[in-house]
């Protein structure tokens, strides 16, 4: 395989906040503790004490969650005080979702391997945090295979991890070929969480990846002090708002907007926000939006003590929940996740929880043999393919054209002529200056227009080769977007059963660039 790197800022695909974080811009250094280098993990370990009783709970929960998995991992390693986790998370997209979900898993697996090699006195376990409590079903219920979209329709509501995936049989019936791994997962398991755990274990279990479902009563019990603090003090919303205002004052666009209470009420078929209501006389109570459920303060605090599983953190508190229940060192996220974590450092400080290292996942453009051959034939570079269509067509046309399409020399010559005309004119009458400059502007516009016509005409002369170029571009950037955000891994795996193995071999978790992989 031929691999080369492209700087992320050359792709035009990422926000300034994300890019400035990766370049360790001085203005952002107060929003995190350490930048994720290999050496930084040594210091992170020193500051990451974790309670033995929490380790015991974590292992017991994982043993229970993996009860249906053959050849399950040995979780007892997590009982050891020198064992730490490295974590990524994502929604439970059907059939894995876009390619970048797989890239997250592989980055996490490879990071654990590299850390185990670098720090042999410690053990590092890769974790996939399953966003099982998320209730935005529309974000996970579809995927694209060989250009055709498939959608899971259901009347089920609430946390997606609790949904029964056996309804996906109607989707399997529409597919052109058998997908045995996913049929075993979706049609033989009774919850989406169990199904996802099944196929992720089949894909990457041998590489050490462990799936953790946070929708668990025992894990929520560890989180109960944070839940109660949020209900009583509602401090996190103000903290995040203040941080967001600071980042926006620096010119950055922030990702998340906090609520007054950053918790949902969770039950079967239900995940709705908890809000505090007040009357003019000072009377207070809590409501679950879009329901008839009401609680006094004492009732809700008692519920948090006795049944914390009925509380679900939103995007502000989910990272805190993660760090409460895991001996974690780093979070591996995408180009939207890393920036929103930068909004949360103050929340971690408030709860006195160590802030993890923030690592971007691996980014890649995979070029199959057919596309690689076309790239070579056309003589186009990977960086050029990231350009917008107009720039790509015009630049490529200028390169292959036998005619000079650039009128820069003529425009420079015209400007020099007008400088001389202007000099002579003002000697005669200073009032002529405006007329001369106006005429210069008009003629410069005319030349610009002629230059564009030249380029458009020449593009038509090379329409055949430009059509081949744009076909290649559309193949690698489907629907005008970056490949990893659209394509499903099955588009490659079904043609090459070694696809996942190949990515495992070439992904470097500490290389923060776009990897171009030519097979």
Q: Is the pLDDT of residue 33 over 70?
A: yes
Q: What is the mean pLDDT of residues 470-489?
A: 93
What pLDDT shows up at residue 451? 67
Evaluated on CA atoms 214, 332, 211, 198, the torsion sign reads positive
3-state secondary structure at position 495 = coil
pLDDT in tens, 53-92: 999 999 999 999 999 999 999 999 999 999 999 999 999 9
Residue 338 phi, psi dihedral angles, 5° rounding: -55, -45
How does strand 148-151 pair with strand 210-212?
unpaired
The rounded distance, in Å, linking the Cα atoms of 156 and 164 is 8
Band of pLDDT at residue 255, cut at 50, 70 and 90 = very high
Q: Is the pLDDT of residue 452 over 80?
A: no
Polymer length in residues for the chain = 519
Strands (E), 167-214: 210-212
- 225: closest CA among 154, 101, 311, 146? 311
Q: Is the pLDDT of residue 401 over 80?
A: no
What pLDDT shows up at residue 461? 57
DSSP assignment string, 344-367: -HHHHHHHT-PPPEEEEPPEEEEE
Q: Is the pLDDT of residue 411 over 80?
A: no
Q: Is the pLDDT of residue 150 over 80?
A: yes
């Amino acid at each position: 395989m031929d691999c080369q790197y492209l700087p992320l800022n050359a792709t035009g695909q990422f926000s300034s906040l994300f890019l400035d974080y990766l370049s360790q811009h001085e203005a952002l250094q107060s929003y995190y503790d350490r930048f994720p280098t290999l050496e930084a993990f040594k210091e992170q370990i020193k500051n990451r004490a974790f309670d033995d009783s929490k380790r015991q709970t974590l292992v017991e929960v994982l043993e229970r969650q993996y009860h249906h998995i053959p050849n399950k991992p040995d979780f007892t390693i997590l009982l050891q005080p020198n064992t730490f986790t490295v974590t990524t998370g994502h929604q439970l997209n059907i059939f894995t979702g876009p390619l970048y979900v797989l890239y997250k898993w592989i980055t996490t697996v490879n990071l654990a391997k590299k850390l185990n090699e670098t720090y042999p006195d410690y053990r590092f376990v890769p974790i996939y945090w399953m966003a099982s409590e998320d209730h935005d079903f529309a974000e996970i219920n579809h995927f694209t295979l060989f250009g055709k979209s498939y959608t899971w329709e259901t009347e089920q509501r609430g946390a997606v991890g609790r949904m029964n995936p056996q309804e996906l049989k109607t989707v399997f019936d529409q597919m052109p070929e058998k997908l045995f791994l996913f049929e075993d997962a979706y049609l033989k398991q009774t919850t989406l969480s169990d199904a996802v755990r099944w196929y992720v274990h089949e894909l990457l279990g041998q590489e050490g990846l462990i799936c953790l479902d946070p929708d668990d009563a025992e894990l929520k019990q560890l989180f109960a002090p944070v839940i109660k603090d949020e209900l009583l003090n509602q401090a996190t919303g103000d903290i995040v708002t203040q941080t967001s205002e600071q980042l926006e004052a620096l010119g950055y666009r922030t990702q998340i907007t906090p609520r007054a209470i950053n918790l949902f009420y969770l039950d079967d078929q239900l995940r709705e926000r908890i809000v505090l209501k007040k009357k003019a006389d000072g009377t207070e109570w809590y409501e679950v939006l879009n329901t008839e459920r009401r609680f006094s303060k004492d009732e809700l605090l008692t519920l948090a003590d006795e049944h914390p599983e009925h509380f679900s953190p939103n995007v502000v508190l989910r990272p805190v929940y993660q760090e409460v229940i895991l001996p974690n060192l780093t979070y591996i996220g995408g180009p939207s996740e890393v920036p929103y974590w930068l909004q949360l450092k103050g929340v971690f400080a408030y709860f006195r929880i160590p802030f993890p290292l923030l690592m971007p996942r691996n980014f890649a453009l995979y070029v199959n043999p057919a596309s690689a051959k076309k790239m070579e034939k056309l003589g186009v570079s990977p960086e050029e393919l990231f350009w917008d269509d107009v720039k790509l067509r015009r630049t490529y046309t200028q390169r292959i054209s036998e005619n000079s399409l650039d009128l820069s020399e003529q425009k420079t010559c015209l400007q020099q002529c007008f400088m001389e005309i202007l000099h002579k004119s003002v000697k005669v009458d200073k009032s002529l200056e405006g007329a001369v400059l106006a005429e210069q502007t008009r003629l410069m516009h005319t030349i610009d227009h002629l230059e564009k016509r030249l380029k458009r005409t020449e593009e038509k002369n090379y329409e055949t080769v430009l059509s081949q170029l744009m076909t290649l571009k559309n193949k690698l950037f489907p629907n005008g977007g970056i490949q990893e955000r659209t394509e499903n891994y099955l588009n490659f795996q079904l043609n090459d059963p070694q696809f996942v193995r190949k990515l495992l071999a070439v992904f470097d978790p500490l290389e923060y660039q776009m990897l171009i992989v030519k097979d």
